[in-house]
Amino acid sequence: MSHFDTLIVGGGAAGLLCAITAGRRGKRVLVVEHANRCGKKILMSGGGRCNFTNIHATPANYLSANPHFCKSALARYTPYHFIEMVERHGIAYHEKELGQLFCDDSSKQIVKMLLDECSAASVRVETSCSIERVSHGESDEDRFRLHTTRGSFSAPSLVVASGGLSIPSMGATGFGYELARQFGHAVLPTRAGLVPLTLSGKHQEPFADLSGVALPVTARCNGTSFSNYFLITHRGISGPSILQISSFWQPGDDLRLDLLPGRDALEALQQWQRDRPAAELKTVLGDVLPKRFAQRLCEHWLPNRPMKQFNGPQLREIAQVIGDFALVASGTEGYRTAEVTLGGVDADELSSSTMQSKRMPGLYFIGEVVDVTGWLGGYNFQWAWASGNAAGNAV
């Protein structure tokens, strides 16, 4: 049995940041990672360039049954704390859009930076190390014990940073949720978030041959809206606007698109009627929307005639369809392609300043395993860093 001050399960974003923070404080830290390398999700993130933070991150960008929970950790570790480390390591980055910071070169630089920081803080990292059993307080000492394929380790604190269920092929497991239950924690229902939606049957048919068509929209669901690109896929719909809204959508919920975001559809139609009375609706729409999409709209949902032939009420009906286009999604693509897992370890049972369990002293949960889920755009890594920092300063 090797003894440490802190054991961390999961060498992903949250686990590594926590290890660095605790290691810098002189703690003897062990990170146990079951995959053959750390940070696989970081490597695949942001299309290989890792959208490592968002400079506009605030608690309003996160979903949780306890919306106040993330405030303390986010306030104490801001995007600028992480940017300071990125700059110290000479990693070039840029803002893509909407405050999203990406590496100029490669996500590998972020993983290397985190592992270099771990070594500088004397953190031990064990990869390809599977946990067989977790126990606590078996002897007179109040220690956690990890029994693994690489030996047994003990420490007075255990940090669970094993992530969510998305992308099982990258090492995602339900381990953190099982461990939470083992120690008496409630786990809120989980579901895939930031995920493409599927269409089926008569709701998919009109889009079947439009795979690859993309256009800017405002997607609305359950009182939330996101303006960004919408993409038709082989199985349904995706693109940033749909990925964002997917976290707010559940089967049966009403999902609407404004196909002319930022414009009043009725005013636009009236203008086109005045300017181009002989042009057909599909032609004028084809000048502002992808042509194949405009044509399909006029085959399935809208009457196609020269603009001068529409009367006032008809124009209003067309404007209604364009500005409030109803989509009936059948489901999501699930964890196979989801960027995140919604739900998880109930934040009400954790300290918001340290991430420590209120039920089991010495036990901490950080990152995606907790019921805190960010929007698309660097917010999820910012939560991983911030919650990792909070626990790393407390263990």
For helices 13-24 and 379-392, angle between their N-to-C axes, nearest 10 degrees: 30
- The least distance separating ligand FDA from the CB of residue 102, rounded to whole angstroms, comes to 8
Residue 117 is a binding residue for ligand FDA (CB under 6 A): no
Q: 227-233: long-range contacts (C-beta < 8 A, 24 or more apart)?
A: 227/261, 227/262, 230/257, 232/207, 232/293, 233/196
13 binds ligand FDA (CB under 6 A): yes
Q: What is the 3-state secondary structure (H, E, C) of 192-248?
A: EECCCEECCHHHCHHHHHHCCCEEEEEEEECCEEEEEEEEECCCEEECHHHHHHHCC
Among 82, 175, 230, 293, binds ligand FDA (CB under 6 A): 175
Kind plus residue range of the DSSP H or E element containing 54: strand 51-54
Q: Which of 4, 6, 7, 12 binds ligand FDA (CB under 6 A)?
A: 12
Nearer to ligand FDA, 235 or 282 (CB): 235
- Quote the least distance from Cβ 51 to ligand FDA, whole Å: 3
**Phi and psi torsions of 344, nearest 5°:** 125, -155
Q: Which two tokens stand for residue 18?
A: 């926590």
Return the number of the residue (123 or 289) whose C-beta is nearest ligand FDA.
Answer: 123
Return the closest-CA partner of residue 181 out of 349, 376, 389: 349
Residues binding ligand FDA: what is the number (CB under 6 A)? 36
Distance CA 9, CA 22 (A): 14
Residue 340 binding ligand FDA, by CB under 6 A:
yes
Nearer to ligand FDA, 240 or 378 (CB): 378
Residue numbers 132-171 binding ligand FDA by CB under 6 A: 161-163, 166-167, 171
| Shortest Cβ 88–ligand FDA spacing (Å) | 20
| Residues 321, 324, 328, 331, CA torsion sign | positive
Task: State which amino acid sits at residue 308.
Answer: K
**Site for ligand FDA contains 339 (CB under 6 A):** yes
x/- mask, ligand FDA, residues 39-78, rule CB under 6 A, reads -xx--xxx---xx---------------------------
The DSSP secondary-structure symbol of 223 reads: T
Q: Tally Cβ neighbours within 10 Å of residue 131.
A: 19
- DSSP secondary structure of 265-286: HHHHHHHHHHH-TTSBHHHHHH
Tally helices (H) and strands (E) across the chain: 12, 23
Of 236 and 374, nearer to ligand FDA (C-beta) is: 374
Contact between 269 and ligand FDA by CB under 6 A: the answer reads: no
Indicate the residue among 294 and 369 with the shorter CB distance to ligand FDA: 369
Choose which of 4, 6, 11, 342 interacts with ligand FDA (CB under 6 A).
Answer: 11
Q: Which among 31-39, 60-68, 88-96, 308-316 is the span making contact with ligand FDA, rule CB under 6 A?
A: 31-39
What binding mask, one character per residue, do residues 363-382 give for ligand FDA by CB under 6 A, x or -? Answer: ----xx---------xxxx-
Residue 314 buriedness (CB in 10 A; 0-12 / 13-18 / 19+):
middle
Where on the chain is the footprint of ligand FDA (CB under 6 A)?
A: 9-15, 32-35, 40-41, 44-46, 50-51, 131, 161-163, 166-167, 171, 173, 175, 339-340, 367-368, 378-381, 384
